[in-house]
Structure 1
Amino acid sequence: MSEIIELKSQWDAFKIENPKVRIRDAAKQLGTTEAELLSTAAGTSVTRLRNEFPEILKAVEPLGKVMALTRNDFCVHERKGVYSNLSFSGPMGLAVNPDIDLRLFMSAWSSAFAVDEAGRKSLQFFAKDGEAIHKIYLGETSDLAAYETLVHNFAAEDQHAELEIVKDTTLAEEKPDAEIDAAAFREKWLKLKDTHAFHGLLRKFGVTRTQGLRLAPEGHAVQISYESLKAIFHKASDTDLEIMVFTGNKGCIQIHTGPVKKLVQAGPWFNVLDPDFNMHLREDGIASVWLVKKPTEDGIVTSIEVFDAEGTIIVQFFGKRKPGIPENEHWRLMVNELAVML
């Protein structure tokens, strides 16, 4: 308990001296985690919730229109809409809607809080390492009474229980290219029937994602310039082309499908600032951008994949499509036209 009191004191002093620093960045500067900082306010502006994550998420729909936020270190994805059509099967969850579209990996979820930040109310979910997985913010039209009911129904009995933080110290080691059966890998790539099978292909051959792109069949993965990506965004904006934006972390992938209209540069951040969709992409965190082509039963699917220096995927972009429907030809032509190879 004394450690919590000390952390609370440090956090209170930090907020006074650094009122504009976001809690995620504050946690790094203080050598702690976002979840631990929130837990210092449990019982006041923060309510610890029981670890009944699927049940909590299914109870969000009555809140009405909310803002879903999923991020990693270099990309923030914010989408407004109504939580509905949630389903869970073992450790996997889905929310499939035109607005709130999520892929949930529940084995990574570890703690949950209801948070009141100067009147801005939210539900926030964290991984075992204290990093945020997903957040749900109330909007102007959200049902406040339904939110208060949800918080009451799921409040943890012990608001001050110790928050167990388990740091993930394992690093994915990349095998030398010479140890990979590259010919067999390329052959299997060319026989893909579904983009979702790509992760299994990488796992089967023991390759990292960026290594897999390096070893891809000729013409199926090429590194392109970051300026090409921005040019593609501006062309999509100018032509009202609907695209798909996938941003995720270990516990959640959040998807936007639709146009991207208002593009704004702010320092190192490249932003989409539309009424129901915002994306904030930090340019100085980008190490590589790839144009990738994967075979499916519906023809080639073309994506733009963005990676950080550790080879972790930051964000992916596709043309709007659904299973059973071929890729948007305008997306394919635009990407191939504007991509400048490195």
Structure 2
Amino acid sequence: MTTGFETAAQALRERYSQLKAEKPKARIRTLAHEMAVSEVELVAAGCGGIQSIILREPAQEVFNELGSLGRVMALTRNEWAVHERHGKYEDIRAGKTMGIVVGPDIDLRMFFSNWKSTWAVNDDGRLSLQFFDTAGEAIHKVYVTDETDVDAYHALVKKYADPDPAWPVLAPVQARQEETPVQDPAQLRDEWLAMKDTHQFFSLLQRHKATRLAALRAVGPDLAQELPNDAAERMLQAVAARDIPFMCFVGNRGMIQIHSGPIKKLMRAGPWFNVLEPHFNLHLDTTAIASTWVVNKPTADGWVTSMECYESNGDLIAQFFGARKPGVPELAAWRELLVEYCPVSLAA
């Protein structure tokens, strides 16, 4: 490594050690924010005793080989929700700008425009592959477990290790779209009612130059209505009590990670409401939820309803659906549960 690399790394290690001593339970992402640096810089510097190896770009080449590791733990998060899912990467399709993983356990949607670097990380013996965006924020992490092929992990790291590592060069990501009122709510509603697939929603927003929240506010309460912000916690409790299989989506600017199935074990820990299954964990900071919506979309298979939680800046924290596959109508028990929360009747 270059002298410049080591000089920058040493300065960060010293700052990190001091802050970590003051806040021993704080995670690396939190400490990065407090230090006004990116998480990838702390990983590159080896802060907290981390051993890290940068892998060659593009990240898609590494991603396409994750199936060789066997069962791992996949982690995707944003500021307010953490989604952890155990399983094997299967049916991986990582293209130039988009990708998908559609295994029975690990279910992902990738958006590669902002992806930048990939690191192999050894954090006190805990091995992982970590993918970061151009601003140095973590997009996705893959952790070795007792069921992982560790030899395959080391072989993958050796194959893609960058022979000439350099200090991360950061670039800001595109600023979020500011929320402004929808210009033609009636047209938006007509096009919403004409949808045949939930995936058409994104193009609907693009045509109207609308944020998600602006569209929800404009379309009418039979299609989108706001609920009290304890609704997500009540929904998770009801899903567990009634044994309703559901889908939980958590994402960031480069990834969406999905769990499908029932849940049972729930636990509150401070601001975090947690789902703690052997194969699936969700950590949801309910104090960050600024608005909660039930959203009702028509499809070729009938109406599909979701619960969506947003942060005060308009970012989507998490989405929840009834468990379903394309070509299959929505689960009646899920629909009935969300209808219970709605003071205004949903379109049906």
TM-score by length of 2: 0.93
Report the CA distance shift for 1:184/1:134 in structure 2 as closer, same or farther (over 3 A): same
2:198·2:297 contact (CA, 8 Å) conserved in 1? yes
| Contact 2:64/2:94 (<8 A) preserved | no
Identity of aligned residues (%): 43
- Cα deviation code 1:30-88 (max 9, x no counterpart): 11010010011299711111123222122222211100000000000000000111013
Task: Tell me what 1:162 maps to.
Answer: 167
Asked if residue 33 in structure 1 is aligned to residue 38 in structure 2, the reply is yes
Query: Residue 141 of structure 1: SS of its match in structure 2?
Result: strand
Deviation at 1:231, TM superposition (A): 1.9
Aligned AA (1:324): G
Deviation at 1:339, TM superposition (A): 4.4
Offset at residue 169 of structure 1 (A): 6.4
Give the length in aligned residue pairs.
Answer: 338
Corresponding residue of 2:334: 331
**CA distance in structure 1 between the partners assigned to 2:50 and 2:223 by the alignment:** 54
Amino acid at match of 1:101: D
> Secondary structure of the residue that 1:139 maps to in structure 2?
strand
Residues in 2 aligned to 1:41 and 1:340: alpha-carbon distance in whole angstroms: 53
Q: Secondary structure at the match of 1:226?
A: coil
1:52 maps to 2:55: no
* Number of the residue aligned with 2:312: 309
- 1:80 is matched with which residue? 86
Is it true that 1:126 corresponds to 2:129 in the alignment?
no
After superposition, the C-alpha distances for 1:266-314 in whole angstroms (9 at most, x for unaligned) are 0000100000000000011110000000000111000001100011111
The alignment status of 1:201 with 2:207, answered yes or no, reads no
Return the match for 2:194 from 191, 196, 204. 191
Spell out the pairing of 1:266-305 with structure 2 (5 A cutoff): 266-305=269-308
2:28 corresponds to 1:23: yes
CA drift at 1:5: 2.5
Residue aligning to 1:260: 263
Cα pair 2:250 2:317 within 8 Å, conserved: yes
Deviates more, 1:247-256 or 1:220-229: 220-229
| CA distance, structure 2, for counterparts of residue 33 and residue 304 of structure 1 | 32
In the alignment, which residue of structure 2 is the partner of 1:175?
A: 180
Offset of 1:259 from its aligned partner? 0.8
Give the structure 2 partner of residue 243 of structure 1. Answer: 246
Task: Tell me how far apart the structure 2 counterparts of residues 108 and 122 of structure 1 sit (CA, whole Å).
Answer: 21
Task: Name the CA distance, whole Å, in 2 between partners of 1:165 and 1:209.
Answer: 28
CA contact (8 A) 1:231 1:338 kept: no
Contact map agreement 2:227 2:341 (CA 8 A) in 1: no
Structure 1 residues without counterparts, runs of 5 or longer: none
2:119 matched residue in structure 1: 113
Contact persistence 1:228–1:340 (CA under 8 A): no
Structure 2: state its 5+ residue gaps.
none
Report SS of the residue matched to 2:146. coil
Please report how far the alpha carbon of residue 218 of structure 1 lies from its aligned counterpart in structure 2 after TM superposition: 4.2
- TM superposition shift of 1:340: 6.0
Q: In 2, are the aligned partners of 1:58 and 1:84 still within 8 Å (CA)?
A: no
TM-align CA RMSD: 1.6
Q: Which one of the candidate residues 35, 51, 70 is aligned to 2:76?
A: 70
Give the stretch that moved more between structures: 118-127 or 167-176.
167-176
1:122-150 deviation digits (Å, cap 9, x = unpaired): 00000011110000001112111111111
The aligned amino acid for 1:210 is L
